[in-house]
Chain A
Amino acid sequence: MRSLSTVVVAALMVAACSGADSRDQLVVATASSLAEAFAQMEAEFEAAYPDIDVALNVAGSSLLREQILSGAPIDVFASADLEDMDRVVEAGLAEAPTIFATNRMAVAVAANNPGGVEDIGDLASEGLLVGTCEPQVPCGRLADELLERAGVTASVDTQEPNVRALTTKLSLGELDAAIVYLSDVHNVSLGNVSIPESQNPIVAYPIAVVLETARPDDAQAFVDFVLTEGGRIMLAYGFGGA
């Protein structure tokens, strides 16, 4: 019994001391709206670089920013807005981010448009179930900007923590309309209502290597891939060019 306990404790101590970075994956923090496009990015990158195993950490950009600022082991940051990336740069954890894609907003509706939404002004109707992202994430801030430019006070019923949760509930028919990205309409097969271009904010997506990465060369290779081959993939997934 004594020898067993000694072995157990010794094993625990070895495991604890074997280095916090013993994972062999390249962790890419990916904003929710980039999920599908970056899954493709991951597949093509791994085909081109068989020695590198990419892992996507998908969440709202603000949550990813907090994780990076708290020292999470993240190698690359692809953000859905400039503000979250700027905070990371200010903290000295990234430098010279590059815009690799753009996007616009959309007023999406469930298939067959059960709520009968015709234009953005309908979002003010109390009888419709309308969703946006919470104002702390880029999608939410952009939704507010769109509504302000269009002069509409929407009757919002939920502000989801990330755009994926929003598109899921919309697809399920639990919401009548939601303000999401134009790329989401393309990727999740939703209907959408047209918005005047002048009112529609432009979204810029920056990407950068996180300076505390244990694998700077691999991280830079991924960023370079996104900036070259990645352009084609982003367009295929409904984004605009850089």
Chain B
Amino acid sequence: MNDRRFVKSPWWIVLLSTFGAAVFIVPLVGLLVRAPWSNLVSLLSGAFVLDALRVSLLASVLATVIAAVLGVPLAWMLARVEFPGRSVLRAFVLLPLVLPPVVGGAALLFALGRRGIIGEPIYEATGLVLPFSLTGVVLAATFVAMPFLVITVEGALRNLDPRYESAAASLGASPARILGRVTLPMIAPSLVAGLALTWARAFGEFGATVTFAGNLAGRTQTLPLAVFVALESDRDAAIAISLMMVTISLAVLLALRQRWWRSL
């Protein structure tokens, strides 16, 4: 009912929004124009790219799983339980969203590195080194991506009409049963959207990964890192990988568009 016809829109809105759209479209067009179409397939099937793809997929999926296992209960606490310092905790949870990823990576290094406040005792006791391994990549990705899941799920839980859960409780269902059969199914659209966003963020993570987990092909070199490295030595490979990542991300976003987009 509020949709204006295009020709009746104020000219300055059209002009500014054209520039706004250009911000997003021009860089992608730049990629497409410079893409090495003739040897795209051979570039993307080399060990360099496949190793990075494997590390990226493994780390992003693991990070999403951890984010879900820890994030849903955290979101539940933030949405449902009144406890002192709740708003402070929520601010901490949101911090990785605004913190420069490199700062996040540095913080992880100071906390979980071999000489970190928690990392050092772990190292002394077990000899386990967290950075410079796939574990490090997963930790970095989880740190930056988990806020997406927590915030999305918390929002959904807040908007949930509590009468359904009360009804289930009055009919004798246990809390676990209510969670599994009533709550989670009802927030499913938001949960899926949250998971997709979390995965996408984890997949694209760079700054925290390179700072905390380092860079080693086949072990910790993710796709974004591979692009950064290739940019200096093999620009065609860099563009090819970038195109691949844009395609994957677009596919995820478009898949969300049909059913879950509205709940974001």
Contact = CB atoms under 8 A, between A and B. Distances in A.
Interface of A: 5-6, 8-9, 60, 62-63, 65-66, 129, 131, 134, 136-137, 156-161, 165, 169, 172-174
Contact of B12 (A5, A66, A134, A173): A5
Nearest to A4: B12
A172 B113 contact: yes
Chain A at the B interface: SS class: mixed
A65 B233 CA distance: 10
Contacts of A65: 232
B114 interface: yes
A157 B232 CA distance: 21
Contact of B231 (A8, A63, A157, A160): A63
A172 B109 contact: yes
B64 interface: no
A117 to B, nearest CB: 15
Nearest to A69: B235
Contacts of A136: 229, 232-233
B183 interface: no
B130 to A, nearest CB: 10
B231 A173 contact: no
A33 to B, nearest CB: 16
B131 interface: yes
A173 B114 contact: yes
18 contacts: A8-B12, A62-B232, A129-B114, A129-B129, A129-B132, A136-B233, A156-B216, A157-B214, A158-B213, A158-B214, A161-B215, A165-B210, A169-B214, A172-B113, A173-B115, A174-B114, A174-B115, A174-B131
Contacts of A62: 232-233
A129 B213 CA distance: 12
Contacts of A6: 12
Query: Can you list the 10 inter-chain pairs with the closest CB atoms, starting with the nearest?
Result: A158-B214, A62-B232, A173-B115, A136-B233, A157-B132, A5-B12, A136-B232, A174-B113, A158-B132, A159-B215
Nearest to B119: A174
B46 to A, nearest CB: 15
A159 B216 contact: yes
B261 interface: no
B228 interface: yes
A62 B234 CA distance: 11
B235 to A, nearest CB: 8
Taking each of B109, B131, B215, B232, which has the highest tally of chain A beta carbons within 10 Å of its own beta carbon?
B232
Nearest to B219: A157
Nearest to A64: B232
A142 B252 CA distance: 42
A169 B129 CA distance: 14
Best-surrounded residue of B109, B129, B229 (most CB of chain A within 10 A): B229
B220 interface: yes
Given A158-B214, A158-B220, A159-B215, A66 B129 contact: no
Contacts of B231: 63, 66
B91 interface: no
A131 B113 CA distance: 15
A137 B232 contact: yes
A174 B109 contact: yes
Interface string B121-165: 000000001011000000000000000000000000000000000
